[in-house]
Structure 1
Amino acid sequence: MKKLNILASIITFICLASCSKDFLMLNPQGQLSADQLANAEGIEGNLIAAYGIMNGNVNGTWGNYASAPSQWVFGEMASDNAHKGTEPTDQPNMNNIEAYTNISTDDNIATMWRVYYEGVLRCNSTLRLLAADQAGPKEVTAERASQIQGEARMLRAHYYFYLWRVFRNIPYVDENTSTEDAKITPNNTDVVPMIIADLEFAIENLPADKINGEAGRMDSNIAKAYLGKVFLYQKQYSEALTLFNEVMAGKDIVSMPFENNFDVLNEDGPEALLVSKHAINSNGSGDNANVGDMLSGLYGTSPVGCCGFYQPTIELVNAFKVGADGLPFLDGSYKTNPYISDIGAGANYILDSTLHFDPRLDYTVGRRGVMYLDYGVMPGNDWIRDAAYGGPFVGMKTMIPQGLFGAHAAAGENYLTGLDVNIIRLADVILMAAECEIELNNLERARTLVNQIRTRASNLAPKLTAYGNPAANYSISNYATFPSQEYARNAVRFERRLELAMEGHRFYDLVRWGIAKTTLEAYSQFEGQYLDSYDDLIFNSHNEYQPIPQEEIDKSNGFLEQNTGY
């Protein structure tokens, strides 16, 4: 159900007196007093408003790309998986993010900061109202009060975790922070323990089943998966694995079709855990839609017609190569004799359908000569804004079939869809569990988990050419052995890239693994051979996080400090 986001559009104007926290807040569009909201209906309304930030949008449609729940700007475009795409002069500030030359006045980081602190404030407002009710009239039952606390604190943990990954050094305010104290809260406190505390509370107080049967609601399994993820980032492998095992118990991912994760008609399936719910409003408008990914629509003569951003890299496409044994090239030799589609070929291009590829490639990437959803054969440059800049490939996971535009895209804006975004799905959890097993030196268990993902991928139907034949020699095999911990580590990291490509994880994975510099500079050397804009990139340690927005430092009167290196 997409009821949560629809309700959120009605309630997004709700804001308590705390919304005057200058350095954290957008200007409120409207304001109701605490007395008007101090009842069960007002508390539930505030909670729905807090959920409303899950899609990275406060209001309207345009401009919230950097705060997209998919995190394509900071999680993929900054990595070796994706280019900004389009052309150099469109959204030029994004160029600095992928070139590792970002500055504190960039509008993308300002958007990320404002939107997710708005989410934090809505959670805090909900918790304050609830505390007042429980201290007085108790319109909300004790059972429901515990659930509301769990939902609000789970949401707050998510919003803070997103902020922490991007900025690292952030101010922490909760429901007990006064307006005046919020204005002078520095960003020199480690917020991870507070994130963990919120998630632990959510685990204890949320049911395993969705409240009211609403698919977008938080539940204890989501909280367990999320806490496991936070523990993994802290290298607390045993603690993380315990939680991941609880989430995985009784679930068979092999029976869950990979493609359903990106199918607007098969949402809320058994693989979905933490999901940003999206919907096209009944009047055809799209402010509750997937506004964050709207720029990733295909360009030119494509059925979408806009906007040409978020293009897969040449390097990513080649990572899907497999050897005669059906396994990926963990040693990096997939870059040898690379497949570059139609670069330099023009009208003479002929698709080589004999190449050996993992079948997930053509469910992730659109490439010339291969059928693309129900749009027909991808024609190459006709669907790309500037192939010399962004490369020859287009993304697929954010797109819906054109046959569904009428019901699942905004009127006249086919790039604005109701497709949900998976923030954490079961495959992600399984591969995180495999990581933990490897670091705990349980290699056979890790191999079993990775092979579950690969077995599921082997069930994918081959994508076809215009002539009806398979577009590649699709092949994928299971690992027969993990001969060493280092081999296993490389295998699970590679598998995360293939399975979760273009889903917002890659840059953050490289950073937490401690291999961002070596990986991204090697990527630059490879990609720069074909696209000049990506040559000679230098990645320094401070590029692991973004600068604090200068406008927030200015508003704080010196209480916020800039991150080192900016």
Structure 2
Amino acid sequence: MKIRRIKYFVYATLVFSTFSCSKSFLERNPQAELTYPQIESKDGVEGLLIGAYGLLNGNIDGTWGNYASAPSQWLLGEVAADNAHKGSNNGDQPNMNLIEQHKPTSTNDNLQVLWNRSYEGIVRCNNTLRMLAQLQAGSGDKFDETRAVQVQGEARFLRAHFYFLLKRAFVNVPYVDESISAADATSLPNDTDVNPKIEEDLKFAVENLGDKYNGEEGRIDKAAAQAYLGKFLLYQDRYAEALPLLQAVIDAKPGLQSLAFTDNFDIAKENGPESIFAVQHAISPDGTGDNGNVGDMLNFFYGTAPISCCGFFQPSFDLVNSFRVTADGLPMLDGTYRDNPYLSDFGLSGTDKTNYTVNKNLAVDPRLDYTVGRRGVPFRDWGIMPGDGWIRDPGFAGPFVAMKHTIERSQFASNTVAGTQQITGLNVNVIRLADVYLMAAECQVELGNLGGALTLVNAVRERAALLEPKQVSGQDVATYNVKPYPSFPNAEYARNAVRFERRLELALEGHRFYDLVRWGVAKDVLESYSGFEGKYLSISRNITFQPQNEYYPIPQDEIDRSGGVLKQNTGY
């Protein structure tokens, strides 16, 4: 079913391009006013809707260059935080260095990419809604009321998602819906809060969506809408409103402990019970990768690695050490994981480097070795990670590599692009069940139910304890230990525990920077991180986090195109 749907993605995108982007179309009708009989039909509307889904992978044309619009949000969500470095070397993609160092400018091409791809997705959603209304108002063959409302719910959910990405990154963005013409859209200011419109769209989706249409995986359903609305409300500290939505998703799903952590990152098991809202990726039947995971394609390794390109997205020392545990199998919430830190073979030379062996006595949460590749530890079915042999410049970005976006070597043949194997068909989970558990736990803490929060956090930890130890020659490569919390003695402790658990469980999945910002701790955390990480890597030294670094500048090209109608964000 997935292959059939992705083929439809390609068809729908081509249809959309034919009728909305060609020169002849622009000459005959205003852009975004789709009146051609070929698409004023049920098939045409369905095609436009699938074209809107197609933008979820952040790709408009080709495969290279979609990094900031990746559904994984690895650059703005992880590299901008304390979890990862840009990687590669200092001279490669220098504008990404500025994101990592919190020195972005309005001409940073990564920001333009996120803005452009998100608004393209919004245009496609608006075109779907506009054509749906036109079809239903006509005298020809129409959708029945049930499907018409479903189409509207799916399109409005997708529009809310694209606006959420924009709001989270830029704060002040213009709002365009299906009632606004292309001519009027160019003169809209960015001085109105789009949050009420996002909420309106998500509430419509919650109220009108049920099961996935035709049972097709990748379609938005009620659970996805509930989870997303719950997340949206959580971002505004509206805990009492968010919790019932999140709890409804939890209640409708199997217990987390019955679902394997690794299934979330296994191309053979994607769209399983834990997947709530996932961006569907696949290698097209003709072998091309436009519908693949193009946003993560820089993030494979270097040198002797089975996929060698391009050395980006390397986990930080701070993230790796945050997986260290106490003798009781609990995280070091007080920050003592930075004491006598584990550095792998970083900084060693000569025979010390050559003869390095992994420290089997290192006490860690087992999720570490299913999140990060480190020397001496088996990496999927690729073999034992050799260290520097897979890294472009260890002195610049450290000795570790990221794992969750990779696939098994045995899966390469049918799930990567020939000649460009760093494009895979692996889905990206935007929201998965463990995320919902932890968002609900956060709500419970803020609403004073520490027992409820404890139960949810411990469910995540109990599932982690089921991970198979990584072994070499029959011996565990670390002292794996993860235990449930015996209690949450007070709200401050519970809050720290929930936040730390989000870091461990969701590491390198695009959440971290935005979590730090919404918690109001970004400055303290990132400047403290700079003091620690900067001891080892120059890219992390002397980071000063200013108030405006909680968001990004409006791309200068967009301000110029608007004739100055768009106003730059404060501080830029």
Q: TM-score range by the shorter chain?
A: over 0.9
Matched ranges for 1:346-365 at <5 A: 346-365=353-372
Query: Counterpart in 2 of 1:291?
Result: 294
- TM-score normalized by structure 2? 0.95
| Whole-angstrom distance in 1 between the partners of 2:181 and 2:216 | 33
Query: Counterpart in 2 of 1:217?
Result: 219
> Would you say the 8 A contact 2:20–2:32 is kept in 1?
no
Query: Counterpart in 2 of 1:43?
Result: 45
Unaligned runs of 5+ in 1: 21-27
Matched ranges for 1:377-416 at <5 A: 377-416=384-423
Are 2:314 and 1:311 equivalent residues in the alignment? yes
| Alignment match of 2:230 (pick from 206, 214, 228) | 228
Letter in 1 for 2:161: H
Are 2:528 and 1:522 equivalent residues in the alignment? yes
Query: Counterpart in 1 of 2:336?
Result: 333
Query: Counterpart in 1 of 2:25?
Result: none
Letter in 1 for 2:135: D
| Whole-angstrom distance in 1 between the partners of 2:98 and 2:347 | 27
Are 2:535 and 1:533 equivalent residues in the alignment? no
Are 2:114 and 1:108 equivalent residues in the alignment? no
> Would you say the 8 A contact 2:20–2:34 is kept in 1?
no
SS at match of 1:526: helix
Query: Counterpart in 1 of 2:26?
Result: none
| Whole-angstrom distance in 2 between the partners of 1:159 and 1:165 | 10
Deviation (angstroms), 1:281: 1.1
> Would you say the 8 A contact 2:32–2:181 is kept in 1?
no
Deviations 1:10-32 (A, max 9, x none): 22141598769xxxxxxx99997
Query: Counterpart in 2 of 1:25?
Result: none
SS at match of 1:377: coil
Are 2:509 and 1:507 equivalent residues in the alignment? no
> Would you say the 8 A contact 1:18–1:125 is kept in 2?
no
| Whole-angstrom distance in 1 between the partners of 2:33 and 2:198 | 28
| Whole-angstrom distance in 2 between the partners of 1:306 and 1:319 | 27
| Whole-angstrom distance in 2 between the partners of 1:382 and 1:31 | 54
| Alignment match of 2:151 (pick from 148, 152, 171) | 148
Are 2:559 and 1:562 equivalent residues in the alignment? no
SS at match of 1:36: coil
| Whole-angstrom distance in 1 between the partners of 2:375 and 2:285 | 36
Are 2:493 and 1:487 equivalent residues in the alignment? yes
Deviation (angstroms), 1:5: 3.2
> Would you say the 8 A contact 1:67–1:111 is kept in 2?
yes
Deviation (angstroms), 1:401: 1.1
Deviations 1:438-493 (A, max 9, x none): 0001001100000000000000000123x331110000000001000000000000
Moved more, 485-494 or 245-254: 245-254
Deviations 1:330-376 (A, max 9, x none): 00010000000001222132211111000000000000000111111
- Relative to structure 1, the CA distance from residue 192 to residue 233 in structure 2 (aligned partners, 3 Å threshold; closer, same or farther) is same
- Relative to structure 1, the CA distance from residue 408 to residue 502 in structure 2 (aligned partners, 3 Å threshold; closer, same or farther) is same
Deviations 1:417-454 (A, max 9, x none): 10000000000000000000000010011000000000
Would you say how many aligned residue pairs link Structure 1 and Structure 2?
557
Deviations 1:208-229 (A, max 9, x none): x211111010001100000000
| Whole-angstrom distance in 2 between the partners of 1:141 and 1:242 | 31
| Whole-angstrom distance in 2 between the partners of 1:344 and 1:231 | 45
| Whole-angstrom distance in 2 between the partners of 1:464 and 1:31 | 60
| Whole-angstrom distance in 2 between the partners of 1:380 and 1:31 | 55
Deviation (angstroms), 1:179: 1.9
Query: Counterpart in 2 of 1:424?
Result: 431
Letter in 1 for 2:11: I
| Alignment match of 1:436 (pick from 432, 443, 448) | 443
- TM-score normalized by structure 1? 0.96
Name the Cα RMSD after superposition: 1.6
Moved more, 4-13 or 524-533: 4-13
Identity rate, percent: 57
> Would you say the 8 A contact 1:434–1:492 is kept in 2?
yes
Deviations 1:362-414 (A, max 9, x none): 00000000011111110000000000001000000011111110011111222
| Whole-angstrom distance in 1 between the partners of 2:206 and 2:564 | 37
> Would you say the 8 A contact 1:81–1:506 is kept in 2?
yes
Letter in 2 for 1:279: A
Query: Counterpart in 1 of 2:481?
Result: 475
Letter in 1 for 2:176: V
> Would you say the 8 A contact 1:75–1:504 is kept in 2?
yes
- Relative to structure 1, the CA distance from residue 235 to residue 416 in structure 2 (aligned partners, 3 Å threshold; closer, same or farther) is same
Are 2:475 and 1:449 equivalent residues in the alignment? no
Letter in 2 for 1:118: E
| Whole-angstrom distance in 1 between the partners of 2:196 and 2:484 | 38
Query: Counterpart in 2 of 1:6?
Result: 7
- After superposing on structure 2, the runs of 4+ consecutive aligned residues of structure 1 that deviate more than 4 Å are 15-20, 28-33
Moved more, 10-19 or 265-274: 10-19
> Would you say the 8 A contact 1:56–1:115 is kept in 2?
yes
| Alignment match of 1:248 (pick from 247, 250, 260) | 250
Query: Counterpart in 2 of 1:282?
Result: 285
SS at match of 1:414: strand
Are 2:502 and 1:496 equivalent residues in the alignment? yes
| Whole-angstrom distance in 2 between the partners of 1:119 and 1:375 | 36
Are 2:195 and 1:192 equivalent residues in the alignment? yes
Deviation (angstroms), 1:58: 1.0
Deviation (angstroms), 1:60: 1.2
| Whole-angstrom distance in 2 between the partners of 1:281 and 1:92 | 32
Deviation (angstroms), 1:6: 2.7
Letter in 2 for 1:313: S
Letter in 1 for 2:137: A
Are 2:470 and 1:463 equivalent residues in the alignment? yes
Deviation (angstroms), 1:183: 1.0
Unaligned runs of 5+ in 2: 23-29
Letter in 2 for 1:399: T
Letter in 2 for 1:402: R
Letter in 2 for 1:505: H
Letter in 2 for 1:109: L
- Relative to structure 1, the CA distance from residue 31 to residue 287 in structure 2 (aligned partners, 3 Å threshold; closer, same or farther) is farther
- Relative to structure 1, the CA distance from residue 464 to residue 395 in structure 2 (aligned partners, 3 Å threshold; closer, same or farther) is same
Letter in 2 for 1:169: N
| Whole-angstrom distance in 2 between the partners of 1:560 and 1:546 | 14
> Would you say the 8 A contact 2:317–2:533 is kept in 1?
yes
SS at match of 2:37: helix
Query: Counterpart in 2 of 1:321?
Result: 324
SS at match of 1:273: strand
| Whole-angstrom distance in 2 between the partners of 1:67 and 1:533 | 23
Query: Counterpart in 2 of 1:23?
Result: none
> Would you say the 8 A contact 1:34–1:129 is kept in 2?
no
Query: Counterpart in 1 of 2:206?
Result: 203
- Relative to structure 1, the CA distance from residue 557 to residue 17 in structure 2 (aligned partners, 3 Å threshold; closer, same or farther) is farther
Letter in 1 for 2:180: T
> Would you say the 8 A contact 1:81–1:315 is kept in 2?
yes
Deviation (angstroms), 1:41: 1.1
> Would you say the 8 A contact 1:16–1:32 is kept in 2?
no
